[in-house]
Amino acid sequence: MSGLHVDVDFQQKMTAGQIVCGDVFHSRRISGEGRYILILSDGLGHGIRANVLANLTTSMAMNYTSFHTKPEIAADIFMRVLPRSGEGKESYATFTIIEIDNDELVRIINYDNPATQIFRFGKAFVPRELEIPVRGAENKGKILRVREFKPLRGDRIVFMSDGVTQSGLGSKLFPMGWGDGQLAQFIQKQLERQPEITATRLARKIMNQVEMNDQFKMKDDASCGVINFREPREFMLITGPPFYKIKDQDFVRMVKDFPGKKIICGGTTAEIIAREMDLNISIQHHYDWENIPPAAEMEGFEMVTEGILTLGKVEEILENYTSNTRLEDSPPEEVVKLLLEHDVIHILLGMRINRAHHDPEQPFEIQMRKFVVRRIVKILEERFFKKVNLEFI
């Protein structure tokens, strides 16, 4: 997208006393097209039934959107598919679909969710909105509201379920609920205070205020997503020495010339880089993490960790990461923080067999490292919208 990075975060809080959320969020990056799709659906009511309705809606909407189906046709199909109540009454789920195309176009399709709020240069920005009737005789009166615009650096998109705008409903402060207008004022104040505020921080601030509006006992499911278009931050992760020893100097030159932050996962790799760059490795002897080798320090690198065990833990943390995850300071968690803080990630994966530990005819460690790194790449690209360049050395 013309050098812009799409930074996305999503936060959610459930109705008090419920075990599942009736709002569902799905996202997908279609790498072959350079397209991002984000979908939020709010199922009718609360709990499991609402969650099922919202899950069906987001799943179908994602599939149809992925295949470029016209939204009014897709909406007709999945509205008819949603299960009905025993009395034959219509089951209901709202939805917001956000597409971000590689040709620098954002398309927002909204059905009965609160209006998506867009900010440009810290002020509310309202692109032209089209109203498209949903196809089908049984959908008479149902309208999709569609906005399209080209994003600029610093643009923010805030999308939400009605649990956000209706928070505080019936209270002395917000008798009619927080509302679109007061939400917009809140977001604008945050942007004035912190023009470079991240998507994660802004989404959390909004949801913290929502919880306060409901006096910390949520009356409805509430979900909020934030998209921030910004300049990409680059990062390098190095793991494994190059296959041919003769390539050590070229390998180290690639590492040395990289201008951004970088880490090393692997003791042998760190020793080669330290030797070629005439650096010292300082191991942290005091640590509190079970089954995780200690990290080390080396000038010019954010950190140096053990290899496959650390990477395996990194993959596990990323796989299970949610908006409620709080990262501590163990080596794998520090690696995850660095991965999530950056947008373009370069991974140098060395293919040399450690002959001191393994039979060269059975390079199990190499295959494990390849498998784990590929899993990390897949999660970073598909769930976190990172651009990852994986290079085998």
Domains observed in the chain: 5-229 (3.60.40.10), 234-392 (no CATH)
- Distance in angstroms (rounded) separating the CA atoms of residues 241 and 23: 46
- Distance in angstroms (rounded) separating the CA atoms of residues 196 and 153: 11
Supply the pTM of this predicted model.
0.81
Per-residue pLDDT of the chain (393 residues; tens, 9 = 90+): 457 888 899 999 999 999 999 999 999 988 778 889 999 999 988 889 899 999 999 999 999 999 988 888 888 887 777 776 555 556 678 999 999 987 579 999 999 999 999 999 999 999 999 999 888 777 788 899 999 999 999 999 999 999 999 999 999 999 999 999 999 999 999 999 999 999 999 999 999 999 999 999 999 999 999 999 988 899 999 998 888 787 788 889 999 999 999 999 988 899 999 998 999 888 765 566 667 778 889 999 999 998 888 999 999 999 999 877 889 888 999 999 999 989 899 999 988 765 544 445 445 667 788 899 999 999 998 888 888 999 998
Which of helix, strand or coil describes residue 68?
Answer: coil
The tokens for 28 are: 């997908």
- Distance in angstroms (rounded) separating the CA atoms of residues 22 and 7: 25
Model pLDDT, residue 103: 58
Model pLDDT, residue 195: 94
Model pLDDT, residue 273: 92
Model pLDDT, residue 209: 97
Q: Give the alpha-carbon dihedral of 247, 252, 257, 262, to 10 degrees.
A: 130
Q: What is the maximum alpha-carbon separation in the chain?
A: 77
Model pLDDT, residue 355: 54
- Distance in angstroms (rounded) separating the CA atoms of residues 389 and 160: 33
Model pLDDT, residue 184: 97
Instruction: Using the Cα atoms of residue 261, residue 263, residue 268 and residue 270 in order, give the sign of their dihedral.
Output: positive
Instruction: Using the Cα atoms of residue 370, residue 371, residue 377 and residue 380 in order, give the sign of their dihedral.
Output: negative
Which of helix, strand or coil describes residue 334?
Answer: helix
Model pLDDT, residue 289: 66
